[in-house]
Structure 1
């Protein structure tokens, strides 16, 4: 390439980088064209070369005009920023880690090793995901493209040595990327839906030869945590700062009357019961009993009050309309006493004491209910070990 060609090439590259931005669909078409051209080994003729050059300039101008005329443009990958060094001390964050766990530990951040399936099946159980080099190749394959195009939880690639487009572009796997890394660590979150456009993206520090997550500088992590919290506050709903509490204690077996709650925990087994089982005090092998909302009116009948009072295991009442004494006092009927207040979604009685647990911000959702139950499991474990709720 002579000096003139080189100068034109550099100007075109700079113009495209400054003014042109592609949607995911545009990227797919461009990458497909590049792959097809790679298969053609015949060198271009001079006339074709200049024709292609003029066409490229025209295409850049057209795309530029289109870009400025569309106010709902895709957010591209940003210029990497150097971390400020500000220590993160914000809301508690819960991050799923796919691959190697970070070498650093942080007082306000909890890491949990998860499989890649969690990213597809339960992304909202975490505030963000960290992905390390051991999974770059697997997650860049076509079967994951739609997952990344619709991921509404921020994902960060630690020490990524290629462009992040490989994860949300069909037909371009890790190792085949046509663009170089844009930072030491990059992250993005997509808007979901049919477009799969990037809603927000981040990049930190300069690219390095290493892909080892242990080589990510500590200040980069603090910068990531700040950005995760900012995103949660700005873009997600009121439950986004919900503390993710996952019970990981000793195995528990809990009897349930009125249907099992929609809560899964590998350390907890639910066993269906009837009120006849409760009446007969058939509690062998159980650590607690939870009575669900459909069974509450009958469970509040006077005949059960003594069972709850003398029970060797805790009893809990879920989503009750009235306070716990409708169950513990033979003289109080269900629906004829005070209504429950916020903080009384799960009410329990054991060994002469009572306890209640509320929903986060008093919002009833699958996430807030799951959080309440995981706190309940810890209380049951404590009762099992100590004979009381504390």
Structure 2
């Protein structure tokens, strides 16, 4: 009789292979430095809570951690990367309550193994921390094990979310001291560690190609879709404003400047989107959006996210609406999120770009 491998109880050989491979590759690509690794020597299990910035995050954690742990990741990637199963990663279905994933997490903890979680449940686009849902804080408390926060330095400028290009450089991974859920300053200590300033944010990016996904309109004239990027600069083809090697912090400031809470949006906003494998026109209005003949009222929406850096997913109580916009998925998310949460005043709509707890 076939007995399936129990990843919550035993260490798979694929994990050992991956761990050794990462220890080799990471040294070549980002020349890593590990700070306060002694935090990992405390008796477990723990939650390893990372500030999710880039695709370098996972390899850096595998490089620095010498014992078996299980990352929690969106189930979306498991069909495309079956190897994720083999190394013990726990898939979680989005937009629903995943009881099976919760069972796997609890069983792993009961067997003394660590769990790796990105509390924000998404990568940051510009390097700024995005807010953590109150449900995640409840989960971390209910797991009732110490949380080790993990902070990365130097990786945002090498491989930001808006870029498809990998750049070499130096990176640092720092582990915070374990924080008990019973600590009355539990959330403040974890947030404080994850939001520590990164000195490398005062340096320029290694490559600016693709930044139009982040800066979906010109910070000076406000024209949508007018930014054009090159390796060391980007410019607006409408007003001619050029930015040469701005630092990470300067790009963060430019991104804040174009967001709907700083720069008003002129409706309707028009775009072309790929919906059900067909190109159709798309428009965003003050209280609804239109995709071809499909009209979605904002008061029907409950969730929004971006997958693979290109696809918008908006959820209603009955369905998920998925499409790929031509301009920028971040444009759609930021405008729609802002309209629902702040203009229409839906307090139950979660948006991780505006931390209301600050």
Would you say same fold, with TM above 0.5?
no
Bigger relative contact order, structure 1 or 2, given CA contacts below 8 A and separation 6+?
Answer: 2
Per the normalisation by structure 2, the TM-score is 0.25
Per the normalisation by structure 1, the TM-score is 0.24
Higher strand residue share: 2
Higher helix residue share: 1
